[in-house]
Structure 1
Amino acid sequence: MKTLREFGRMPIALTGPALAVLLVVFGIPIAQLFLTSFNAPAFSTANYKAFFGQPANVRVLFQTIEISVVATAICLLIGYPTAYLIVAASKRLRMALILFVIIPYLTSGLVRTYAWIVILGDRGLINNLLLDHGLISSPLLLIYNRMAVYIGMVHIMLPMMILPLVSVMMGIDKSLMAAARSMGARPFTAFWRVFFPLSMPGVRSGSLLVFVICLGFYVTPAALGGLGDAMLSTFIAAEVRSSFDIGRVAASAFVLLAIAIVMLSMLGLDLSGTSGRTAQPPLKAWYRLSPSFGVMKRYVGECFISYRAKRWIAQLYRAGGDSRWPQLVGIMFLALVMFYLLFPELLVVIMSFSAGKYLEFPPSGFSLQWYGSFFGDPSWYAAAWTSIQIGIVVAIVSTVIGTLAAYGLSRTLPRLRGFLAMVILTPNTIPVIVVGVATYLGLVKLGLLGSITGIVLAHTIGAIGYVVVIVSASLANFDPQLEQAAMSMRAGPLQTFMKVTLPLIRPGIIGGAGFAFLHSFDEFVITSLVGGISMRTLPLKMWEDIRHQIDPTISAVATLLILLPLFMLMILFVAGWRSTLGLQRARPAPAT
């Protein structure tokens, strides 16, 4: 009993509730799913042989990998220069640009997919403009093909590539570039030999996040792609809803999960943004594999040593050029990227106020008819109310559990902290369709399939990760000496937490609750698997209408979902501002 009481006082015990929920809803079911894929207790590879024995499955698997790789590469090619330009901007402009990236990131993926249907459809914005100006006689095939899938997926995943890159690049010491330039390096050489290697943690983290999430994409390929663009997640979801052969579903899910695990284990996921380590030149390994090329390079370089020395001395005392072309090109590129991220959502907002019978741009008149259609249709507002109720409960449960877990992790040994954090974030770092199948199996065992309680538990396992990450970031900037000072004045642990710790980390808790609510409110894939037939949330209702009819009411619903993250950002700003004011008031006045 004494040992149990002492364990309860350990900080690691605060992670218990979060680990218990993950274990019951996700951990045990995914272990059972893994055993089922091998036909336990007989243990055979029949399900995997059946999967790879069908050419259609193999084709879809390679197609899934191909789409994910290409989408990740496009995100990196666009995201890296965008992040570099954002970091190079002035402080105010940088904050505005980061906000422009965060807004699409927080907006529902269904809304952004719907926006591209409106733009690329046969009677969408582009085709209507071309038809009206007589440039084409029939609509172009801009949708239901691979290019449309890439456009939609890159639009959704690009913020997730940019944000880790910006985080890492902001931690790189700019004086290193200046030092390289002072030693005669050209701008590109200084960038390639100094800046780029130090930014590799952001490249690695962003690429892995985008690739793993793309593996589990379901909505965008199904809505924008054709029959030849289906991904493995679509087949898994269809199998769950139809026959639900648990062995085949388990094998398909673990084939997808194995790809994600291999990538994560090979490259690792580093979000720390550490840039102080000594970086190796990117091509060093390749030079080692080709010694003759290295010898030739050194010989040619030595021949030009005297020329380079004279050229460097000549340029050292030359006035800097006033060419503005690089700056103009950077501004134009950044403007195009921001337009690509923001215009689809802005278009939906504008078209939601159209007075016509169909979606049109520009609107022929101003009207609130589609908002009236939303609030006047019980199927719409009932689905919205269900999502709100579930989101509130998920936010409360995950915030309480996640805050306790973050507080316990912050006071745990680093190695154990890293392991437990990895366990808690597992549902957020593997393909969502695998999480959905495992959660489906877990809720079946608990008898909660198709219930609100089951959906809350299914959403909570992912929402906890958001709360832990955000609250942990707040605790990282928290001074533990404040707690020690309170305890030295005979304050108990609970009183110290409530009076000292909680007020200082309140913005992080509010932010975690907001992200948890948005995660639940926007969740579609897991909800479609565990919600049953009678349960209808707002994303499920939107998906039904997108698949069967393009009801203009969706534009009004999409506008409300776009305004939701903006409202949350305002709350976070006010909470952070009030917390800053409280800290300023708490500081002692300087002695005079």
Structure 2
Amino acid sequence: MHTFQKIGRAPVTLVIPALAVLLVVFGVPTVQLFLESLNAPNFSLQNYSSFLGQYANIRVLLQTLEISAVATIICLLVGYPTAYLISTASKRARMVLIVLVVIPYLTSGLARTYSWVVILGDNGLLNSVLIDMGLISSPLPLIYNRAAVYVGMVHIMLPMMILPLVSVMLGINTSLIAAAKSMGAKPSTAFWRVYFPLSMPGVRSGTLLVFVICLGFYITPAALGGLGDAMLSTFIASQLATGFNMGAVSASSFVLLAIAVVMLSVFGLNLSGTQDSAPKVKKGWSERLGLLRPVKRYLNELSVGSRSKRWSKMLYQAQGDGGWSRLVAGLILTLVISFLLFPEIVVIIMSFSDDATLQFPPSGFSLQWYASFFSDEAWYGAAWTSVKIGLAVAALSTALGTLAAYGLSRIAPQIRGWITMAILAPITIPVIVVGVASYFGLVNLGIIGTETGIVLAHTIGAISYVVVIVSATLANFDTRLEQAAKSMGARPFTAFIRITLPLIRPGIIGGALFAFIHSFDEVVITSLVSGYSVRTLPLKMWENIRNEIDPTVAAVASLLTLLPILWMIALYVTWWRSRSSSQNIAIEATA
């Protein structure tokens, strides 16, 4: 008990266990990786000059930047209006729309990539429909090209763009827009001069997250793209699998890491969801050119009369006449939500096919592919391995992440920022770099190719999710409840167990679920550290997608698609129960 009181007075000690795992598995190996790229102890730039001196490497690097940038721009162009419409919807409709966006976000990325394989393939849904309608006589090349890569990447990353935007937009004070309109500003002017600048933190966070994560994409370009659509992550993975030239692998990894670090350092990443209190008004080009100012002033004076009449008319005009705007808004939301959910629905329907190959619509319904999954030891054995690893990762990362989040909430803001940045590094840099560094770390520990090693490799990323979710819960925690309990004689440990822990339990459970999902769906890091001796379900799926389109994969993908619904139900039940318990705890603490 005396030890816990000391820890309470030095909360940074609560973060040490999480940092220790992070340093051993990721931090120290990253430094080792950097030294390897410099040919330590001789220290030279030969590996970097060799990488930059080959035209093929430069082409792959530029191609990676191009694909990531285009996918990010598409996500922003689609995600911003979608997030705006979600944030301006009624409370009940907003919750439904957010759930419909979150469900694809929680669905396995490998399952979503597979869904596009069966939709865009030569015998897939689109070509089959077009041939049956007589519009084409032979299948169109819809897959194994750059367009298919963009479709798959945007489908996976779009929720990650929408959710930060919605979070920021919900915090915008809409009275500022109303004030701008009341002073004569047009709706478009009020939006661009007031609303859009206030939403920039969400734009910046979403754009940076999507771009940096796209830099490390490996599965989607390999499954949907052609030979000319390879990205640098694919190049690094092939280097590690074939040549084992760690100097070249290290140099390639650090080139990719350097791009991500530069982007994050220059533009910054705001995960708090806050925005500036007032937007910065930028001067237009006409205001910068002094010769146009008199002309602009004269035209403004001529339009004063008509603008005042239009403003007074709009001021007293009855609201609710925007039928067309509501129709367009509904159409946009329907298209985006359909784009996010339709592939999963197609795979679920096709998984019940009684044909020897996948067809849509199925000629008949059967459970043969589900029976194949549960009767084939290779499939259910891989699934059981993933479940065991996921549960171990969830338990370890939840314990370490909760302690770290609790300690960070009581640390000075300056130190907290640096520690948080270090903890979030595994999920904010390209995953292929994390995989290569983890490979080094597990080799140092002598546990490469073991389930323990995979658990540790998954835990460094899972801790990041737990810290983010539990920290968000602690941000809304009223510390006066703890102080009230202590003032009535409760020890610090008792106050934490009886007051703090029950109130933050929904965040802890949510963090555990995200940690399990992160581990259960992981394929890139697992493929690098498994050593071909441990086969998880994602690895089994990836092998079948690459080598043979076994219809059993459709059954597995449909099961993985249904899992997020179970996660959402579990989170809702936890949140609902916490509402009544938090009220009782608050009454007991203040009684």
TM-score bin, normalised by smaller chain? over 0.9
Q: What does residue 500 of structure 2 align with?
A: 501
Q: 1:456 Cα shift? A: 0.3
Relative to structure 1, is the Cα distance of residues 90 and 426 closer, same or farther in structure 2, using a 3 angstrom cutoff? same
Q: 1:327 Cα shift? A: 2.1
Amino acid at match of 2:252: S
- Measure, in 1, the Cα distance between the counterparts of 2:443 and 2:584: 53
- Measure, in 1, the Cα distance between the counterparts of 2:423 and 2:78: 31
Amino acid at match of 1:485: A
Q: Which runs of 4+ in 1 moved over 6 A?
A: 2-5
Amino acid at match of 1:388: V
- Measure, in 1, the Cα distance between the counterparts of 2:153 and 2:475: 33
Q: Does 1:33 align with 2:33?
A: yes
Q: 1:489 Cα shift? A: 2.3
Q: What does residue 11 of structure 1 align with?
A: 11
Q: 1:312 Cα shift? A: 2.1
Alpha-carbon contact 2:260-2:430 (below 8 Å) kept:
yes
CA RMSD of aligned residues (A): 1.8
Amino acid at match of 1:54: Q
Q: 1:363 Cα shift? A: 2.0
Amino acid at match of 2:423: I
Q: 1:582 Cα shift? A: 1.4
- Measure, in 2, the Cα distance between the counterparts of 1:472 and 1:548: 43
- Measure, in 2, the Cα distance between the counterparts of 1:210 and 1:189: 29
Q: 1:315 Cα shift? A: 1.2
Deviates more, 1:26-35 or 1:484-493: 484-493
Matches within 5 A, 1:366-405: 366-405=365-404
Q: What does residue 144 of structure 2 align with?
A: 144
Q: What does residue 485 of structure 2 align with?
A: 486
Alignment partner for residue 304 of structure 1, among 279, 294, 299? 299
Matches within 5 A, 1:88-99: 88-99=88-99
Matches within 5 A, 1:565-576: 565-576=564-575
Q: What does residue 108 of structure 2 align with?
A: 108
Relative to structure 1, is the Cα distance of residues 574 and 75 closer, same or farther in structure 2, using a 3 angstrom cutoff? same
Q: What does residue 519 of structure 2 align with?
A: 520
Q: What does residue 314 of structure 1 align with?
A: 309
**Secondary structure of 1:317 counterpart:** helix
Amino acid at match of 1:53: G
Amino acid at match of 1:538: L
Q: What does residue 543 of structure 1 align with?
A: 542
Q: What does residue 203 of structure 1 align with?
A: 203
Q: 1:132 Cα shift? A: 1.4
Q: 1:320 Cα shift? A: 5.4
- Measure, in 2, the Cα distance between the counterparts of 1:369 and 1:226: 32
- Measure, in 2, the Cα distance between the counterparts of 1:7 and 1:374: 49
Alpha-carbon contact 2:522-2:538 (below 8 Å) kept:
yes
TM-score, length basis structure 1 = 0.96
Deviates more, 1:298-307 or 1:532-541: 298-307
Q: What does residue 338 of structure 2 align with?
A: 339
Deviates more, 1:202-211 or 1:356-365: 356-365
Superposed CA offset, 1:364-420 (max 9, x none): 222111110100111000000000000000000000000000000011111111111
- Measure, in 2, the Cα distance between the counterparts of 1:304 and 1:271: 44
- Measure, in 1, the Cα distance between the counterparts of 2:527 and 2:277: 45
Q: What does residue 424 of structure 1 align with?
A: 423
Amino acid at match of 1:87: S
Superposed CA offset, 1:52-71 (max 9, x none): 11100000000000000000
- Measure, in 2, the Cα distance between the counterparts of 1:244 and 1:470: 38
- Measure, in 2, the Cα distance between the counterparts of 1:48 and 1:256: 12
Relative to structure 1, is the Cα distance of residues 89 and 296 closer, same or farther in structure 2, using a 3 angstrom cutoff? farther
Q: 1:280 Cα shift? A: 1.6
Amino acid at match of 2:128: N
Q: 1:8 Cα shift? A: 7.8
Matches within 5 A, 1:100-499: 100-281=100-281, 283-284=282-283, 293-318=288-313, 319=317, 322-499=321-498
Superposed CA offset, 1:154-197 (max 9, x none): 00000000000000000000111111111111111000000000
TM-score, length basis structure 2 = 0.96
- Measure, in 2, the Cα distance between the counterparts of 1:247 and 1:586: 57
Structure 1: gaps of 5 or more residues: none
Q: 1:490 Cα shift? A: 2.1
Q: 1:584 Cα shift? A: 3.2
Superposed CA offset, 1:224-274 (max 9, x none): 000000000001001111111010000000000010011111100012222
Q: 1:586 Cα shift? A: 4.3
- Measure, in 2, the Cα distance between the counterparts of 1:349 and 1:134: 26
- Measure, in 2, the Cα distance between the counterparts of 1:174 and 1:10: 42
Superposed CA offset, 1:426-452 (max 9, x none): 111100000000000111111010000
Q: 1:583 Cα shift? A: 2.4
- Measure, in 2, the Cα distance between the counterparts of 1:576 and 1:202: 26
- Measure, in 2, the Cα distance between the counterparts of 1:510 and 1:503: 11
Q: Does 1:23 align with 2:18?
A: no
Q: 1:323 Cα shift? A: 4.7
Identity rate, percent: 65
Structure 2: gaps of 5 or more residues: none
Q: What does residue 562 of structure 1 align with?
A: 561
Relative to structure 1, is the Cα distance of residues 480 and 291 closer, same or farther in structure 2, using a 3 angstrom cutoff? same
Amino acid at match of 1:582: S
- Measure, in 2, the Cα distance between the counterparts of 1:148 and 1:456: 33
Relative to structure 1, is the Cα distance of residues 58 and 180 closer, same or farther in structure 2, using a 3 angstrom cutoff? same
